[in-house]
Structure 1
């Protein structure tokens, strides 16, 4: 159902995705490195966002960002 048997393809064509039927040997370590890079970037963005967060109107109920916002750290 839609599968194509492997056929000869031009070897001189370059593709950033790896070309036809790419199976890099280091895909597991590449995936781990990419995931760690994304986690570090997300953590840095989260930290900067939490440091800059200011609410000018007090929330009427508890919200999750109150756990890490500086504005609410001293109200515990």
Structure 2
């Protein structure tokens, strides 16, 4: 195995931080579009987290 099982690449912390920032910046627009497009034809039986930030949910009529 190149590098062996105890390989420690140079600047691994910086590279990991850059990769995580890239993933985070990529996921934010996807989540915002998902919130805008979310629709539910029926109200959920139990509360779900997306009801807190999604504006497409109405009030539940009893």
Instruction: Give the alignment's TM-score, normalised by structure 2.
Output: 0.71
| Structure 1: gaps of 5 or more residues | 1-18
| Higher RCO (CA < 8 A, seq sep 6+) | 2
User: Following TM superposition, by how much is the alpha carbon of 1:60 offset from its aligned partner in structure 2, in angstroms?
Assistant: 2.5
Q: Does 1:56 align with 2:56?
A: no
Q: For 2:38 and 2:11, locate their aligned partners in 1 and report how far apart those are by CA, in whole Å.
A: 40
Larger radius of gyration: 1
Query: Number of matched residues?
Result: 56
| Structure 2: gaps of 5 or more residues | none
The structure 1 segments of at least 4 consecutive aligned residues displaced by more than 4 Å after TM superposition are none
User: Following TM superposition, by how much is the alpha carbon of 1:52 offset from its aligned partner in structure 2, in angstroms?
Assistant: 0.4
User: Following TM superposition, by how much is the alpha carbon of 1:29 offset from its aligned partner in structure 2, in angstroms?
Assistant: 0.5
Instruction: Give the alignment's TM-score, normalised by structure 1.
Output: 0.60
